[in-house]
Amino acid sequence: MSNKVAIIASNGGLFDAYKVFNIATAAAATEKEVAIFFTFEGLNLIHKQAMQQLPMPAGKEHFAEGFAKANVPSIPQLVEMAQEMGVKFIGCQMTMDVMNLTKEDFIDGIEVGGAVTFLEFAKDAAPTLTF
Amino acid sequence: MSIKADVQLDCKGLACPMPIVKTKKAMNDVEDGQILEVQATDKGSIADLKAWSDSVGHQYIGTKEEDGVLLHYIRKSGDDHNVEQKYENTITNEELIDRATNGGIILDVREEAEYAFGHIEGSKSIPMGELENRLEELDKDQEIFVICRTGTRSDLAAQKLAEKGFTKVVNVLPGMSSWNGDLAKKL
């Protein structure tokens, strides 16, 4: 059985962030080796400023209250926990070039790589998830 | 009644995935064979902690609800390692029923939490770790059928009893993990 979980994060909203980081932290807590490849808008999830206030989908802003009531951890908290548990973050070099971003625009501890970096990790991962 | 646990973890009010993340961390401070009690209000934690335990290799014992709080009981590394059983006088689960009704007693040496979530009606609970200090509760003239989950702890217990001068001791194999009869609970 594979002990790896590979995740592609390609969207940059708050809901997307929860899907990505909840699965990632739960997998890491279950002693899986986890890597997340952040590409296109997914880069928002680890961008120093953007991650602090990720947008809700239009018309769904009222969920903010539900998040508070359910005592859901904030995205920066989940990110910190994921990193503490050894989840590997890979930023997509090509997207960063297109968006004119450098490694310094992102939280500490990320790797930057191309598609092959992710594919190499994901080749024997099960499951591979895309958000 | 409350169930004895070696370590307690408060996850009340926390949403997924926090109960799992905190349980994983807390387990580092629990010794093999000890019981962790996870207190949670997240209803998803029932299915999650069971799946997590199975996946990581701990023994999920059960969950009970008390005043709106879910109390989950997990025994660390529940897989008793494949230790060779040394005590020679053994019987099978199937033989136990007939034999025990003839005046013997069934001694369940699993942890109190494991006993609480399912044991053989009429069996006596003395966890392995307490056996040495509770020998006076047992009768040397009575047949004692020692049982645990997989036969490993009961093997050790049977050896211990023999060492202490109990001569009518029998180890029951394979034990509660494959018990097909009725189960009594004490929750």
CB contact under 8 A, B20 and A22: no
Structure tokens at B173: 């194999």
Q: Which of A14, A29, A112 is nearest to A68 (CA)?
A: A14
Quickly list H helices, B112-151.
112-116
Residue B60 lies in a domain: yes
Nearest-angstrom CA–CA distance, B120 and B97: 10
Residue B187 lies in a domain: no
Q: What's the CATH number where B12 sits? A: 3.30.110.40
In terms of domains, do B51 and B18 share one?
Answer: yes
pLDDT, tens only, A17-57: 999 999 999 999 999 999 999 999 999 999 999 999 999 99
Quote the domain boundaries for residue B33. Answer: 7-75
Total domain count for chain B?
A: 2
In terms of domains, do B114 and B55 share one?
Answer: no
Which residues of chain B have a pLDDT value below 50? none
In terms of domains, do B35 and B114 share one?
Answer: no
Q: Summarize the confidence of residues A91-119 as an average pLDDT.
A: 95
Residue B1 lies in a domain: no
Total domain count for chain A?
A: 1
What average pLDDT is seen over chain A?
94
Contact criterion met (CB below 8 Å) for B36 and B78: no
In terms of domains, do B107 and B136 share one?
Answer: yes
Chain A residue numbers touching B14 (CB-CB < 8 A): 71
A106: left (phi over 0), alpha (psi -120 to 50) or beta: beta
Q: What's the CATH number where B110 sits? A: 3.40.250.10
In terms of domains, do B67 and B107 share one?
Answer: no
Residue A2 confidence class, pLDDT cut points 50, 70, 90: confident
Tell me the shortest Cα–Cα distance from B13 to chain A, in angstroms.
Answer: 7
The residue ranges of DSSP E strands in chain B, in sequence order, are 7-11, 35-40, 59-66, 69-75, 90-92, 105-108, 124-125, 144-147, 169-173
Nearest residue on chain A to B48, alpha-carbon basis: A26
Peptide linkage before A127 cis (omega within 30 of 0):
yes
The pLDDT value recorded for residue B96 is 92
The pLDDT value recorded for residue A53 is 92
Chain A residues with CB under 8 Å of a chain B CB are 22, 25-26, 29-31, 70-73, 81, 85
At B152, is the secondary structure helix, strand, or coil? Answer: helix
Q: What's the CATH number where A43 sits? A: 3.40.1260.10
